[in-house]
């Protein structure tokens, strides 16, 4: 149940910049949140704190890579996203996306990594939470956010327009 809540909460905030650029409200973070961010991501630069429905999101750069870290309302680190290329998706998922979303342009690809330790059982069973990718696709009539699991399962998370 916790995994479902975490996935839903993070999906709702992953592409805040992509879907609601005009609605971004930058805030200041507490000392504890800033310390936790620097503890998890030493060398983070250009940090922007954004409130979410479940806590706070910190967008930042490390060595030129765009990343975001997510914290709940209690300041607990939930996980992070990292900008990646379309080529990094599993081959089967790239093929399915090309067939299903022919004519769509890839706007952004993020890889989500949860903060928790993944057990060997979960890795074998493949619960789809470890290292899931989120792909923002833009077409003429609509924009969609799809989730791609490490097992190459593709599901629609959100449709815009």
pTM for the full predicted model: 0.71
DSSP state of 32: H
Total number of domains constituting the chain: 1
Q: Which residue has the tokens 């900008």?
A: 83
Q: Which residue has the tokens 């916790």?
A: 2
Owning domain of residue 107: 2-160
Question: Would you call 16 helix, strand, or coil by DSSP?
Answer: helix
pLDDT, mean over the chain? 81
Of 65-69, 114-118, 120-124, 153-157, the poorest mean pLDDT is in 120-124
What's the pLDDT score for residue 24?
53
Run of H or E residues at 79: strand 77-83
Mapped to the 3 state alphabet, what secondary structure does 91-109 carry?
HHHHHHHHHHCCCCEEEEE
pLDDT tens for 39-95 read 889 999 999 999 988 899 999 999 899 999 999 989 899 999 999 999 999 999 999
Banded model confidence at residue 8, pLDDT cuts 50, 70, 90: very low
Looking up residue 75, the CATH number of its domain turns out to be: 3.10.450.360
What's the pLDDT score for residue 26?
66
What's the pLDDT score for residue 25?
64
Residue 22 main-chain phi, psi, to 5 deg: -75, -20
């Amino acid at each position: 149940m916790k995994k479902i809540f975490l996935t839903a909460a993070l999906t709702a905030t992953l592409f805040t910049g992509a879907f609601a650029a005009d609605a971004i409200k930058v805030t200041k973070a507490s000392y504890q949140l800033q310390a936790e961010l620097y503890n998890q991501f030493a060398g983070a630069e250009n940090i922007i704190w954004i409130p979410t429905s479940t806590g706070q999101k910190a967008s930042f750069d490390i060595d030129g890579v765009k990343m975001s870290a997510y914290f709940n309302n209690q300041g607990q680190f939930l996980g992070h996203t990292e900008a990646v290329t379309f080529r990094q998706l599993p081959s089967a998922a790239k093929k399915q996306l090309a067939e299903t979303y022919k004519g769509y342009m890839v706007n952004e690809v993020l890889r989500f990594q949860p903060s928790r330790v993944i057990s060997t059982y979960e890795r074998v069973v493949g619960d789809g939470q470890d290292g899931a990718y989120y792909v923002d696709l833009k077409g003429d009539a609509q924009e969609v956010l799809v989730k791609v699991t490490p097992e190459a399962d593709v599901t629609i998370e959100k449709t815009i327009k």
